[in-house]
Amino acid sequence: MDHVALSYDERFLRRKVLTTAEGRAVLVDLSKTTSLDHGDALEMEDGSFVEVRAAQEELLEIRGGDLTRLAWHIGNRHTPCQFEGSKLVIQRNHVMQDMLHKLGASVTEISAPFTPEGGAYGNGRTLGHSH
């Protein structure tokens, strides 16, 4: 199956032309802005599908210390976070990196697909503060 590799930010879209791995231009025209996840698929007018894949991104891998406490500080700053057992992963940000070091975390710069935890209440990404 043909696919598109999109960053976390790029997977939040409503209307955009994407280029697939096979070089095909695909117009995505959704009724509302939607958060696409790794493994989702876009159905084309001809009934074929284009898989959505998480692209490699510049990230921070966080280990050590009290991960629950570190996750709280990350969430308190409304930063998307990927949970992977003994580590947390966030998008690269020097301010967050400095804060996490000061909180006792071991922080390593990595390049990997980013698939953070979705928003509360089953709505994908949490937007604004109306909740």
Same domain? 80 vs 102: yes
Determine how many CB atoms are found less than 10 A away from the CB of residue 69. 12
Report pTM: 0.85
pLDDT in tens, 91-113: 999 999 999 999 999 999 999 99
33: left (phi over 0), alpha (psi -120 to 50) or beta: beta
Least confident of 20-24, 60-64, 67-71, 119-123: 119-123
When pLDDT is cut at 50, 70 and 90, the band that residue 36 belongs to is very high
- Residue 43, domain extent: 3-54
d(CA 68, CA 92): 20
d(CA 124, CA 129): 14
In this structure, the answer to whether residues 25 and 75 fall within a common structural domain is no
Same domain, 70 and 23: no
Q: What residue type is 121 in one-letter code? A: Y
β-pairing verdict for 56-63 and 49-54: unpaired
Domain of residue 14, CATH code: 2.60.260.20
Q: How far apart are CA 104 and CA 78, in angstroms?
A: 20
Mean pLDDT of the chain: 91
- Is 131 a residue whose pLDDT tops 50? no
- Say if residue 66 is in the same domain as residue 27: no
Is 114 among the domain residues? yes
Angle at the Cα of 42 from the Cα atoms of 41 and 45, rounded to 5 degrees: 140
What is the number of domains present in the chain?
2
Distance from C-alpha of 15 to C-alpha of 35, rounded to nearest angstrom: 12
